[in-house]
Chains A and B, each alone.
Chain A
């Protein structure tokens, strides 16, 4: 059964909007949570400004449990929690919740890795000037790692476009949902083709914005 493109393009625009909402929503929430977790991961490491073996071990253990779970499984496992928190398991908002959970841990590792690459001497210099741990986090760690952090978040958001397609198949809406119901289940290759093209454009756009911003920050 083929779609009527004269009326169906509205559905495509809507779906694109839903995908962008899911990705941006998740990016915002997971950046905040992931940033906090990543900073905690880094600063509680041995010899660091908030060294704490217990928190460090606990966080690492937790992240290493969540991360290997395939997103599609996590989506189902989390659905009772999603219903509790969002009120429903269907729709864009309901997709953002599990996507945020999954993405936060990815962001946490990305942030941690970028912070590790900061020259420890620079952190020591700030300590020697009497900076508190909070001041070091906001005036040294984040600004010094900002360029690579933006690239890291770009990498994550490209992954999120993929996540959103998966979430779409189980009722999250968006391009994934359209591709699944019209393109895959009804064998309409034109829908499949259009949605894939739009997804590719979105990925390119995200990468382009990320590259632009990081270049601006890093001045190279």
Chain B
């Protein structure tokens, strides 16, 4: 659907060259909700603007459904843009137009007849749950409502791709949840491929199926969200995950545990089906030792369980060693180091 091949974008600021996007390669498949996460200044905004040609690449190839975007003339580019919807962090609604006129705007650009426009606007406002606000002006709406209008407007021309530029970053957590649900509905019911950028792991975790992590213009890690979340490779990825899901107790608590003479701690990660099996109790019972969960969580990620537990084992030393050995074949288990966390 969207293919980036070695794409770079360099800006000239004064007499300094800044590489905002650097040799980026990725593929967004049809039906994906593909998330790009990065801290501010990582180049995400530039990257998403390359997809609809608001920025032109300095190097590399960008293919939208096999159309080479980087080769298009302005007029052809505008045609392609009409098939790519975009929503923004600050909504960017037209303050001089009512809600329905905002949604109607892209249809007017495409010279759709009036009757057809009216029907489409009505249907879209219904879809985003704002039918009663048709005659309101944007300034009379809350943030979440504004973003719903933004989404309805972006969907007006029946796009195949929806770009979301930090679409939930200006919203409170509850509203964020609503908008993310709406995006999921857009993806599932209308079959629209979504590419979103965000700095919140929460967003990736709750709606995306694939993710790319960006840092200083480069994509440093990408893959399935479940894989990336449960087995992050890069330090920055780990940082993002730590922000939503703390995998270990704080160093203070660990020190306290040790000061009280607590035994060695092990971190166990259960993925998918493993998380629903009674592995710990089965294995410890077999070796006749006890286990003590001192910290952890089990959560849902991409419709799969993901468990992260910190445990200690009580029993004879060789029994504990044998037990850990056996667990290693079934789940990810590692000893928690003193200086870690």
Contacts and interface: CB of A to CB of B under 8 A. Distances in A.
B86 interface: yes
Contact of B92 (A125, A139, A143): A125
A219 B109 contact: no
B105 A130 contact: no
Interface in B65-107: 75, 78-82, 84, 86, 88, 90, 92-97, 105-106
Interface string A126-149: 111111100100011001101000
A122 interface: yes
B52 interface: yes
Interface string A46-60: 000000000000000
Contacts of A132: 75, 78
B105 A146 contact: no
A70 interface: no
Contact of A131 (B52, B78, B84, B137): B78
A124 B81 contact: no
A146 B90 contact: no
B109 A131 contact: yes
Contacts of A124: 54, 88, 92
A37 B195 CA distance: 40
Contacts of A129: 81-82, 86, 105-106, 109, 153, 157
B108 interface: yes
Residue in B79, B80, B88 with the greatest tally of chain A CB atoms within 10 Å: B88
A143 B94 contact: yes
B201 to A, nearest CB: 25
A50 to B, nearest CB: 11
Contact of A122 (B54, B78, B94, B110): B94
B86 A143 contact: no
Counting chain B residues whose Cβ lies within 8 A of the other chain, the interface size class is 20 to 34
Contacts of A84: none
Nearest to A145: B96
Interface in A87-113: none
B108 A128 contact: no
A121 B89 CA distance: 10
A144 B94 contact: yes
A48 to B, nearest CB: 13
A139 B88 CA distance: 20
A139 B75 CA distance: 18
A122 B86 CA distance: 12
Given A124-B92, A128-B86, A146-B96, A139 B108 contact: yes
Nearest to B107: A129
A217 B95 CA distance: 11
Contacts of B88: 121, 124-125
A6 interface: no
B95 A144 contact: yes
Interface string B155-175: 001000001000000000000
Contacts of B106: 129-130
A147 to B, nearest CB: 8
A129 B52 CA distance: 9
A129 B86 CA distance: 8
Contact of A140 (B90, B94, B163): B94
B96 A144 contact: yes
Contacts of A125: 86, 88, 92-93
A119 B78 contact: no
Contacts of B52: 128
Contacts of B82: 129-130
A128 B54 contact: yes
Given A127-B54, A219-B137, A139 B86 contact: no
Contacts of A144: 94-96
Interface of B: 52, 54, 75, 78-82, 84, 86, 88, 90, 92-97, 105-106, 108-110, 137, 153, 157, 163
29 contacts: A119-B90, A119-B92, A121-B88, A121-B90, A122-B93, A122-B95, A124-B54, A124-B92, A125-B88, A125-B92, A126-B105, A128-B52, A128-B54, A128-B81, A128-B86, A128-B163, A129-B153, A130-B78, A130-B106, A130-B109, A130-B110, A131-B78, A132-B78, A139-B108, A139-B109, A143-B94, A143-B96, A143-B97, A217-B96
Given A122-B93, A124-B92, 9 more contacts: A122-B95, A125-B86, A128-B52, A128-B163, A130-B80, A130-B109, A131-B78, A132-B78, A144-B95
CB-based closest 8 A-B pairs: A125-B92, A130-B81, A130-B82, A121-B92, A130-B78, A128-B86, A143-B96, A129-B106
